[in-house]
Amino acid sequence: MNLVEGIQGEMNRVRELRKQYVAIGSPGAFGCAGIDAEIRQGEKAIASGDVVEMIKAYNSLQGVTG
């Protein structure tokens, strides 16, 4: 697996976690907002091609837990 695949895998994992926050309803809105920001960061890092930013995004996505 390369770095881009790793980020994409983490974004998919976090998207699944986001569904749990949505199911909570209104109290999960803050969690959803944070998850959305992490996903945007990952997408932006991949689009930029900046390896340092991609590593940061990957590490940050790994830190998202439920």
What pLDDT band is residue 61 in, cutting at 50, 70 and 90? very high
The parent domain of residue 9 ranges over 3-62
Q: Based on the structure, what is the number of domains in the chain?
A: 1
Q: Is the pLDDT of residue 40 over 80?
A: yes
Angle between helices 51-62 and 3-24 (to 10 degrees): 40
Q: Is the pLDDT of residue 20 over 80?
A: yes
For residue 50, what pLDDT is reported?
97
Q: Is the pLDDT of residue 66 over 80?
A: no
| 35: nearest Cα among 55, 53, 59, 19 | 19
